[in-house]
Amino acid sequence: MKSIMKSIREISNNVLLCGSIIQKNKIFKIILLVFFSLAVTSATNQAVAQGGTWITKSPMLTATCGAAAGVINGQLYIISGIPIGGGTTNTMEAYDPATDTWTYKASIPTSRAYGGAGVIDEKLYVVGGCINGDCRIGLTDKLEVYDPVTDTWSTKAPIPTARFSMAVGVINGKLYVVGGSQQCPPCTTLATLEVYDPSTDTWTTKAPMPTARGSMAVGVINSNLFVAGGGNASGVLATLVVYDPATDSWTTRAPMPTALEAAGSGVVNGMLYVVSGINAGGYPHTVEAYDPVSNTWVTDTPIPTARYGPAVGVINGVLYVAGSAEGNLQSAILEAFTPEIIDTTPPVITPTVTPAPNAQGWSNTDVTVSWNVTDPESGIVSSTGCNTTTLTTETASTTLTCSATNAVGLSNSISVTIKIDKTPPTMTCSATPNSLWPPNHKMVNVTTSVTMNDSLSGASGFTLTSVTSNEPDEGLGDGDVANDIQGWAIGTADTAGSLRAERSGSGTGRIYTLSYEGKDAAGNTTPCSVTVKVPHDKGK
């Protein structure tokens, strides 16, 4: 402990800020190098080593520290910052990963250092920061917007609370700005959260962060703002807090394994990556990743070049870290990190059966089974039985199984059972009595018998579809009475009703026809009909 205290005293006599020596009596809180703690704080959750890879890319055109950054259309934009020699530069340059090249773009109207940036609708919003890179001179509250289509800047409503080294994130088309520090001295840290709505060009104040701090790591996951680490007058922090715009509230999650401020950060594959930074132990090369699903941190491959508040952007699952080398020196180094895929879930397999079976699980036509096999984390490396299959023959039960394995070896299998019956059921119908005599105009009770058989899917039932007569209901002459058909419920499995013993004297006899439709479990139908006669005379 004594040796640590001695080192802190020695460091505090001359503090190195972007290549400039500032005497002890002029020390002020600049984004990243401010709050030393006496030890590195460890989280409760044990970190697990992973295997991401780092690659060095083409260096920036201008070495800087304290620059802002944003990604538009697959390109990384680096804005302003402090160049070699001090002051601030208003230059902006864009990096294209496809060609590994940098290009200068239109300069920002207000040069600044330690500002924040976010991208909304493919436009870059840059807010706040220190004037001329010296936070004793003052801060800017300006919000300036870059349009890459026209390569021009415009000015929008200023932020109500000027600040530097704040955390910035974009959620549902709005710019969220939280924490940071005010003008130095006294470099007071903030908990204030202010939100900018570009549709109205206005700012609103939301629930403050639980703890004031500056120089935090930040990322947006599932429309929530994750803020990790940073520092304040009490020291360097490991705390992780999450803001939910839907409830305007903050919650505390698992702390980082390593207390850090001035770390770079970005979200890859739904995880928050925190890279390098500073604490009482110096400038660690650490890479730590937070999984919001399990509320745990893992430690990944260290960054080759320790950084002090670098500019960071994520493009196609790769974390690009630029500028601001160890010691808060200006740097042009660009390093790209591809995380090892952390996948704890098996593949997702979704079958589609066309046409879909009925409620009893049967089909009565050819059936096609197709599979959608996905694994958004690590991808599919092998699968069996997942090709599209069409079944054309009848079957009481045919099971198709699709199995898949992802890149980390997790497997899943899903089965679908197909039942096909294309043959209608057999059906017989009879009536008792099937002849009505004498034709005395009286109603006679009649019952029917319906028998069904289906050897594959099984009989599902029958319905009475109609009861008709070949003669009019009335108008047949003397003694004719209306309503000759009574008590039959059409659309049900009715087998009893009444028919009138009546026929036309000038005809050949009356024929009542009772029609049924039978159905099996697969939906195949069969018609069946039975007749009840009223003969013209007893001999017929």
The token duo for 88 is 């601030």
Write down the pTM of the prediction. Answer: 0.64
pLDDT value of residue 344: 80
CA separation for the pair 466, 497 (Å, rounded): 12
pLDDT tens per residue across span 415-440:
999 999 999 999 999 999 999 999 99
Q: Which residues contact 44 (CB under 8 A, 6 or more apart)?
A: 254, 255
Contact indicator for 78, 60 with CB cutoff of 8 Å: yes
Concatenate the DSSP letters of all residues of 399-425 into one string. EEEEEEEETTS-EEEEEEEEEE--SPP
Which of 127, 66, 140 has the alpha carbon at shortest distance from 323?
66
> Beta strand 271-275 with 240-244: parallel, antiparallel or unpaired?
unpaired
For residue 74, CA distances in Å to 28, 78, 126, 321 come to 37, 13, 18, 15
pLDDT tens, position by position, for the chain (540 residues)? 333 323 332 333 233 345 433 333 333 333 333 332 222 222 333 334 457 899 999 999 999 999 999 999 999 999 999 998 888 899 999 999 999 999 999 999 999 999 999 999 999 999 999 987 777 778 999 999 999 999 999 999 999 999 999 999 999 999 999 999 998 888 899 999 999 999 999 999 999 999 999 999 999 999 999 999 999 999 999 999 999 999 999 999 999 999 999 999 999 989 999 999 999 999 999 999 999 999 999 999 999 999 988 999 999 999 999 998 776 678 999 999 998 776 788 999 999 999 999 999 999 999 999 999 998 877 899 999 999 999 999 999 999 999 999 988 999 999 999 999 999 999 999 999 999 999 999 999 999 999 999 999 999 999 999 999 999 987 666 667 789 999 999 999 999 999 999 998 888 999 999 999 999 999 999 999 999 999 988 865
CA separation for the pair 426, 347 (Å, rounded): 46
Q: Which helix (H) or strand (E) holds 17?
A: strand 14-17
Which of 54, 123, 120 has the alpha carbon at shortest distance from 318?
54
pLDDT tens per residue across span 491-527:
999 999 999 999 988 889 999 999 999 999 999 999 9
> Beta strand 367-374 with 231-232: parallel, antiparallel or unpaired?
unpaired
Q: Which helix (H) or strand (E) holds 397?
A: strand 395-406
pLDDT value of residue 478: 62
Residues in the chain: 540
Q: List, in order of start, the domains of the chain with CATH numbers.
A: 36-338 (2.120.10.80), 348-420 (2.60.40), 426-535 (2.60.40)
Beginning with the edge strand found earlier in the chain, give each strand of the sheet holding 123-127 in spatial order. 116-120, 123-127, 143-147, 152-156
CA separation for the pair 112, 116 (Å, rounded): 10
Phi, psi of 3 (to 5 degrees): -65, -35
DSSP code for 373: E
